[in-house]
């Protein structure tokens, strides 16, 4: 079986400190508005009255998300300029010299990974820090996480180590693109589906 | 309301392809009815406009790119990208329809050669609309990934195409009067039928989204709540288009009134289609984040 690099994210361990987001932004010198790794703050639940008392059932958890270097990368499939390619080790990269800046990949990707750099006139996205990974170093987001909530490696090995779970809110169903993402869900992730959860920091993750 | 350049590109190219087909049908019909010269008087001038309309549409598309100097690379992924195929067919259709207009205008080439080019251009036009519809049928965008996208794109193609030809003929006094009025009436009849189809498929599309979940429901809410006024105005303009086009078929619609009613119907339907396409792009709500 060929290698497929993947990220591992432990939602039950993430405190939402965003060290991963900042480390990525810093390493790649991303402009304002570009966030190759984003931490989605999911909130849900409510307060309910029980006699004289108000009982809280609110919940919150974080999802740290970058490009998932999908096994079926829809961005590469739809890109008219063949500017997006998948390496033999599974890493999906954008060639800025080939990109025409049509933004079609950003319409298609359900993870918000390809992002448009208006100043440069082309799309950008997480590179899995391929130049570091190639010399045996971890991606900057993984290295920066103080809670060890992020890891990386071969997808099959990560699944063997952490188990292969289903997608949790707000992520889409995995059959759409077969993301190379292994997750340990937060204990309240199942409630997000039934208790009208929402993303609490939408403006931040949208880069607006 | 974003993506105005793509609203312009998609509508102008659909208008051009539809007009090409309608002009072809009119030409065949008029040749049988009144001979080649009368048919030429009916369609040759209008045919000259197809190429410029396509070029205008492609200019809108070209300048929305972040790196227009790389635009030539847009053909690079014909194997899997419907967008690549759309660009290819748009260029080929523009080239062949322009060539045909030139040959007809300057009376160059044999009838058989011109006929062959006309059929090739017409089929390339259909391929363009097919590719365009598939380019928007992204599996991650539920409001676009439905039967309604290709159906509504083809309805718009022939609806706008027909009325564009009608609008151009309305101001063309060089056509034999009997042929002129009958042509406009055929166009009006076709437009009324297509508007009827549109008035069925638009509500069905929205109701289908409402019955879905997640991103589909959010897309429906954008159309029917956030942009409610535009949605209803778009439908009202389509109904008004039916009514005005119907005037050309009534006893009132004789002489100059036929032309005025056709031009007015074109204006109403164009406005309706622009609003409809703006709503289509607003419905781009993805699965996921």
- B159-177 pLDDT, tens per residue? 999 999 999 998 876 777 7
> If contacts are CB pairs under 8 Å, which of residues 138-167 in chain A contact chain B?
none
Tell me the per-residue pLDDT of A104-135, one tens digit each, with 9 for 90 and over: 999 999 999 999 999 999 999 999 999 999 99
Which residues lie across from A151 on neighbouring strands?
A8
Q: Write out pLDDT tens, residues B231-248.
A: 999 999 999 999 999 998
pLDDT tens, position by position, B126-147:
999 999 999 999 999 999 999 9
pLDDT of residue B170: 86
What Rg, from alpha-carbon coordinates, does chain B have? 20
Enter the pTM of the model: 0.94
Nearest CA in chain A to B84: A80
**How close B126 gets to chain A, by Cα (Å)?**
20
Per residue in B173-219, pLDDT (tens digit) is: 677 778 888 999 999 999 999 999 999 999 999 999 999 989 999 99
Q: What is the mean pLDDT of residues B31-44?
A: 89
User: What pLDDT does B173 receive?
Assistant: 67
Nearest CA in chain A to B145: A108
Distance CA B97, CA B272 (A): 27
- Nearest Cα of chain B lies from the Cα of A120 at a distance, in angstroms, of 8
Q: What percent of chain B has pLDDT over 90?
A: 82
What is the C-alpha separation between B7 and B45, in angstroms, rounded? 26
Q: Do the chains contact at B76 and A77, CB–CB below 8 Å? A: no
For residue B65, list chain A residues with Cβ-Cβ distance below 8 A.
100-102, 121
Residues 6+ apart with CB under 8 A from A102: A80, A81, B64, B65, B66, B74, B83
pLDDT-derived band at B112, boundaries 50, 70, 90? very high
Q: Measure A183 CA to nearest chain B CA, in Å.
A: 16
pLDDT of residue A199: 95
């Amino acid at each position: 079986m060929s290698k497929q690099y993947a990220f591992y994210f432990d939602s039950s361990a993430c405190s939402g400190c965003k060290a991963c987001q900042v480390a990525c932004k810093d390493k790649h010198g991303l402009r304002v508005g570009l966030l190759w790794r984003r931490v989605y703050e999911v909130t849900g639940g409510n307060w309910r009255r029980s006699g004289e008392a108000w009982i809280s059932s609110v919940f919150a958890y974080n999802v740290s998300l970058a490009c998932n270097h999908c096994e079926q990368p829809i961005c590469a499939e739809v890109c008219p300029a063949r500017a997006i390619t998948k390496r033999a080790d599974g890493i999906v990269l954008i060639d800025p010299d080939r990109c025409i800046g049509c933004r079609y990949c950003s319409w298609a990707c359900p993870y918000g990974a390809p992002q448009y750099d208006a100043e440069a006139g082309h799309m950008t996205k997480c590179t899995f820090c391929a130049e570091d990974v190639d010399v045996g170093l971890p991606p900057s987001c993984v290295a920066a996480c103080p809670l060890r909530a992020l890891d990386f490696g071969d997808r099959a090995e990560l699944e063997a180590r952490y188990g292969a779970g289903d997608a949790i809110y707000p992520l889409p169903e995995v059959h759409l693109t077969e993301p190379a993402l292994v997750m340990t869900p937060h204990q309240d992730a199942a409630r997000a589906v039934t208790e009208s959860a929402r993303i609490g920091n939408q403006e931040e993750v949208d880069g607006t | 309301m974003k993506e105005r350049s793509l609203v312009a590109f998609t509508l102008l190219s659909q208008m051009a392809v539809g007009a090409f087909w309608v002009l072809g049908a009119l030409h065949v019909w008029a040749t049988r009815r009144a001979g080649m010269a009368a048919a030429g008087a009916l369609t040759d001038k209008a045919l000259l406009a197809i190429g410029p309309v396509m070029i205008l549409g492609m200019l809108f598309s070209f300048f929305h790119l972040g790196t227009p100097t790389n635009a030539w690379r847009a053909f690079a992924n014909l194997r899997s990208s419907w967008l690549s195929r759309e660009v290819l067919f748009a260029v080929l259709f523009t080239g062949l329809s322009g060539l045909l207009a030139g040959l007809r205008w300057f009376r160059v080439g044999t009838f058989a050669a011109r006929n062959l080019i006309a059929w090739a251009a017409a089929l390339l036009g259909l391929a363009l609309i097919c590719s365009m519809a598939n380019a928007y049928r992204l599996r991650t965008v539920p409001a676009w990934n439905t039967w309604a996208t290709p159906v509504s794109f083809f309805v718009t193609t022939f609806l706008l195409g027909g009325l564009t030809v009608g609008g151009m003929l309305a101001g063309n006094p060089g056509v034999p009067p009997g042929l002129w009025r009958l042509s406009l009436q055929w166009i009006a009849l076709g437009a009324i039928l297509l508007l009827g189809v549109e008035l069925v498929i638009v509500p069905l599309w929205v109701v289908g989204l409402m019955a879905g979940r997640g991103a589909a429901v959010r897309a429906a809410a954008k159309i029917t709540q956030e942009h409610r006024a535009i949605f209803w105005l778009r439908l009202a303009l389509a109904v008004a288009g039916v009514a005005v086009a119907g005037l050309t078929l009534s006893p009132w619609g004789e002489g100059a009134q036929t032309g005025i009613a056709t031009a007015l119907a074109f204006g109403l339907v164009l406005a309706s289609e622009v609003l409809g396409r703006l709503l289509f792009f607003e419905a781009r709500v993805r699965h996921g984040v």
